[in-house]
Structure 1
């Protein structure tokens, strides 16, 4: 199945719609296709197709879901098929359905009312998440101000290492925790640790860039992650993955709508290559200590960055 471009994906959906309605001619159901498959960020060979099956007849809903999954499996495209169940905090259903392409015209009032309730709760949830994020940013800003006057290279290295250790500790507590509210707090803590690691990482890479090339200071996580991957700094596979994760996570603090997805990305990253953040810290420290003796105590990174901006 050719799905690399939107016209190809649209044609694939039209064929799927025809097969679906032929298999289930009684239109008391709907299939909502959402996610990257109907957006321009779809990556051929990497992205899948996401869909939600709605039908009040449970057995028929299960049959439709199985048909959808098998249809795309035969065409070598992975399908993530969700069955709709009404729950007031099932935010994925609301976001998915309200940003989807429908395969039938069935859209009953009962479903609309349920989505209204979910959406209202989701709006309140997002507001709570915004407040949490704001407080996390305030906390980091105050911490950064306290460090600003004496921000030496050694401080950035120690901060990065401490946050990497605390990140792994938070993950260990998360997988052992049964309380959903506590797990949510631990996930937020992991996200905050990643932000601290990223800022310390940027400071260290800025020090290296300015020391070696006298280049202007950049404000981008992605820029420094790319420079780290290009340089002859010792790396493990996990530390490469950690750096690439920071590159893709650039400007996370400005992305409010996708906080849930971004937090899930953090959880997946720590599970798969969490040790890489610690290894990246150790490798950077050794690289700097060997090449720049002043890194450990004498050189003030904050002053270097301010000078490089001018």
Structure 2
């Protein structure tokens, strides 16, 4: 295929000094001052189509260089890929620092900090913010410095291996102080010995008041646990025989105290009767539910959690993202 010949006498266009100055002025007005192309056209006495062509040519020829600068820890490309792949409204990916000896702790801290910034951005006056359980939530509470005026509700009990006033309860209190709103905490374990004890505790005045607010939650933040030691509150609280029994049933993830298989389906529904936490049916009615996940060891669990259809938001690291996009 041959190239078309240039017309006789035609020569490459070279912008003169006046054209360059005019182009620079148009660029300043459009990109920095926020003027429309129609307004710029009126200023220069030309058509808005001429303004559009001038700006497009300036970008193409390098006279105007557009830079997109994000904080170094945020991965814009993977964030957008996750948003598209899973149909998410909120998707944030930050770069993992796995080569550091304290890499896991740093990733968890970064996850909580990025989520705190996200909540400061999307929570509006009058929202009811629900917070789940996990070390990421503890970091989130400590990192929150600004939040619209809202109510904060604890969405589940805490691990029975720690005092009931620790971590998630403190995170709820801190978030409510920043938001200048009411706090509804749950002073009870997440997992109880049997369903009867769980039902009795749910009726206790303080706990019942928090549980009664689940239906009012407008934005929720939930963590995901993997099925292994140190990866799930429920896993750590069960006996070895129970862990293996649920593993044989396909458990690979834990969300809000419920166990999921790789397809995002609940396994061991009888265990749910021993849980004090917001239910999946209640979560489905929340407009914004954001999942927090960090570490390659939680990648499979994160995939299972997303398959539930509960979440329209995800904050995670590159290690989890690579698995989700593979």
Report the TM-score range of the alignment, normalised by the length of the smaller protein: under 0.3
Output the TM-score relative to the length of structure 1: 0.24
Larger radius of gyration: 2
Q: Which has the higher helix share?
A: 1
Q: Which has the higher strand share?
A: 2
Output the TM-score relative to the length of structure 2: 0.23
